[in-house]
Structure 1
Amino acid sequence: MGHTHHHHDHSEGNIKVAFFLNLGFAIVEIIGGLWTNSVAILSDALHDLGDSLTLGVSWYFAKVAKRDRNKKYSYGYKRFSVLGALINSIVLVSGSIFIIIEAVPRLFDPVKPNTEGMIYLAIGGVIVNGLAAFRLSKGHSLNEKAVYMHLLEDILGWVAVLIGALVMHFWDFPVIDPILSVLIATFILYNVFKNLREGFRIILQGTPSDISVEKIHATIREIPRVLGVHDCHIWSMDGSYHILSIHLVIAEDLSLSELEAIKTETKHRVSSLGINHTTIEFETDAEDCIKC
């Protein structure tokens, strides 16, 4: 049986910083949105407030995910970070739908907002979300990737708001405000659905998209005294920590030291292909495999 490979994890600290940055600026946005009478600002305020709440949930689950395995969770708590990512995504879907419902009526009855205030808020939004996204840009877990994607969307959204505010500041074209809201919400929905799909793939124990089963089979077959491989199962705990269980067909009459050498070589080879935890079962050619 393989052993767990530990690696240093900064996800908790990164998400913590992003949480406080987002929460503080979301409060500023709500006040600023009411002041500027901009549905685009209020939409982003609602989005950022939802992000802040889910960042708090993600922060909590990132802490839980670092706990060691026990009798209750034999593989540990890594999958709790996936749960945080799913909650994050579901809240964003709900918020985006709400934004679209609120913005559509203004497409037909636009109200000109305070464009100067929008410009200042948009610049602040780019800076604050940029700092938070930078902290998470090198994250590896699905939770960090989900949060980073949301922050990146926020930056793009604020850039769009800034451009729209500049246009409305010099030209009388207030319909840009609700148009931006709908475009931002649609873009968010598109990316969140991709995240949800990956999250459900992990929960349903699908083969990780960055792992090639064919390469794993081929590299193991190259090991001397290994006659074949089968009953290969690969799944992921959190989108970055991948697990493999596999049956190796070997030549008969091998000593324990020879089997240990094959096992060590197998783990080394699959580790280079992205596998973090490996369980190996040996069989002879004459043995009937009981697949599970």
Structure 2
Amino acid sequence: MIPLTERESTYRSAEMFKNSLRPIFSNRNSRDIFLFLLLNLSFAFVELIYGVWTNSLGLISDSFHMLFDCTGLLAGLAASVISRWKPDDKFSYGYGRAEVLAGFVNGLFLIFVSFFIVSEAVERAIEPPEVNHDRLFAVSLMGLIVNLIGIYAFQHAHSHASQHGHSHRTDSHGRSDRSNGHRYASRSSGQSQIMKGVLLHIMADTLGSVGVIVSSLLVQYFGWMRADPICSIFIAILITLSVVPLIRDSALILMQRQPVSLDDVLPQCYQKVMHLAGVYSIQEPHFWALCSDTHVGALKLEVSKAADPIYIMTHARLIFDAAGVKQLYVQLDFADM
């Protein structure tokens, strides 16, 4: 009979495990990422074992790509949970940028793997080894099926992702209410960006599996041993191409660059604001992205003492809101002109 203390320990461990999974399964995106992570991780080890057995660099490189995609899935899973945390006094903007940081770090890892695969492939292209292709095709086909399942699941989830509405209130100092903006950042745009990144990696994996299948057929029927390292280089190129946009976009957000989508829109917004009654000039405009497509702005308006502050702040907010700036902070400086 199990002692009571051991039963209590087992029960507490089970409760802790259940509680740790609750934030994951409470959201469709995080649940899909978690389930595909388990599937992807299992098959990555299958590919790695068969790659070593058949001496196929293409299969080995694809398995390492899948393993590093698992780190991407894990980072996306963590980000999808963290980005839903509520803002607090230390993180007043919330935790939406967790997805940006996860994407940037994951992209750097994948670039490193690409260089490693290319260096190994060039060495094997010069002196191609013998490749045991008997079971290479079957395993590659299984990998393709796994990735196709992932593409279907994540495209389906992304196409049905809900968009959360939000509203803004403006206080007497011209600052918009941020609470709904936080929910928008963490539940809508953040989740969408995470799913896009995950889908991007899975699609690269799918093309990589196709490359391994083609190389296995060339080796089996034509004896072209160099097809295997060429396939590896092809996979490395796919990895690089898939992560460059992710690294670029996340780096721009982390560097607080003005959102690219606003480059041509903001001048028009400035002109509209300047046409508001009582506005003399626009000073110190700052616009940045919290995460993904959630844009925030702050600017100072020099206005007439006779101007209506509520009118100016309300219309300025509406102008920038139409341009995609969901949170706007306005400071009014009253001047005699």
Post-superposition Cα deviations, 1:75-116, rounded to whole Å, max 9, x if no partner, equal 111111111112211221222222223222211222343445
Contact kept? 1:37, 1:114, Cα under 8 Å: yes
The residue aligned with 1:94 is 112
SS of the equivalent of 2:96 reads coil
- Alpha-carbon distance in structure 2 between the residues aligned to 1:21 and 1:223: 57
**Which secondary structure does the structure 2 equivalent of 1:283 belong to?**
strand
- How far off is 1:266 after superposition? 2.5
- Residue 260 to residue 16, structure 1, CA distance change in 2 (3 Å): farther
Q: Are the equivalent residues in 1 in contact too, given 2:215–2:228 (CA < 8 A)?
A: yes
Shift of 1:210: 1.7
Separation (CA, whole Å) in 1 of partners of 2:28 and 2:313: 31
Match of 1:239 among 292, 299, 304: 292
Closer, same or farther: CA 277–11 of 1 in aligned 2, 3 Å: farther
Q: How does 1:205-244 map to 2 (within 5 A)?
A: 205-212=256-263, 213-244=266-297
Equivalent pair of 1:55/1:88 in contact (CA under 8 Å) = no
Q: TM-score, normalised by structure 1?
A: 0.83
Report what 1:276 is aligned to: 326
1:173-184 aligned within 5 A: 173-184=224-235
1:45 pairs, out of 56, 63, 66, with: 63
Aligned residue for 1:5?
none
The partner residue of 1:251 within 301, 304, 308 is 304
The whole-number CA distance in structure 2 between the counterparts of 1:132 and 1:226 is 53
Between stretches 172-181 and 227-236, larger displacement belongs to 227-236
Change (3 A) 1:226 1:19: farther
Over 3 Å counting, the alpha-carbon distance change for 1:20 and 1:259 in structure 2 is farther
Higher mean displacement: 153-162 or 183-192: 183-192
Letter in 2 for 1:22: N
Q: Look up the SS of the partner of 1:237 in the other structure.
A: strand
Partner of 2:314: 264
Establish whether residue 125 from structure 1 lines up as the match of residue 143 from structure 2. yes
Specify every segment of 5 or more residues in structure 2 that has no aligned partner in the other structure, as ranges.
Answer: 1-26, 162-188
Q: CA deviation at 1:179?
A: 0.9
Does residue 59 of the first structure (1) align with residue 77 of the second (2)? yes
Q: CA deviation at 1:237?
A: 1.6
Hey, what's the Cα distance between the residues in 2 that align with 1:247 and 1:10? 41
Alpha-carbon distance between aligned partners in 1 of 2:76 and 2:329, rounded to the nearest angstrom: 30
C-alpha distance in 2, partners of 1:267/1:151?
A: 39
- Give distance in 1, aligned partners of 2:276 and 2:56: 65
Contact 1:89–1:146 under 8 Å retained in 2: no
After TM superposition, the score normalised by the length of structure 2 is: 0.73
- The alpha-carbon distance between structure 1 residues 136 and 273, as it changes in their structure 2 partners (threshold 3 A), is farther
Alignment check: 8 A CA contact 2:278 2:306 kept: no
Measured in 2, the distance between the counterparts of 1:241 and 1:111 equals 51
The separation in 2 between residues aligned to 1:208 and 1:10, in whole angstroms, is: 28
Counterpart position of 1:198 = 249
2:170 matches 1:152 = no
Q: Deviations over 1:17-40 (max 9, x none)?
A: 442232122122112323332110
**Shift >6 Å, 4+ stretches:** none
Task: Give the SS at the match of 1:210.
Answer: helix
Contact 1:243 1:276 in 2 (8 A): yes
AA in 2 matched with 1:209: V
Between the aligned partners of 1:267 and 1:10, the Cα distance in structure 2 is 33
Opposite residue 120 of structure 2, the aligned amino acid is E
RMSD: 2.5
In the alignment, the residues of structure 1 paired with residue 272 and residue 195 of structure 2 have an alpha-carbon distance, to the nearest angstrom, of 31
Distance 1:261 1:118, change over 3 A: farther
The percent of aligned pairs where both chains have the same amino acid is: 26
Measure, in 1, the Cα distance between the counterparts of 2:128 and 2:53: 17
> Would the aligned equivalents of 1:40 and 1:178 in 2 still touch at CA under 8 Å?
yes
Residue 165 and residue 215 in structure 1: after superposition, are their counterparts in 2 closer, same or farther (change >3 A)?
farther
- How many aligned positions are there? 276
Residues 59-82 of structure 1, C-alpha deviations (whole Å, 9 max, x = no match): 112211111111111111111111
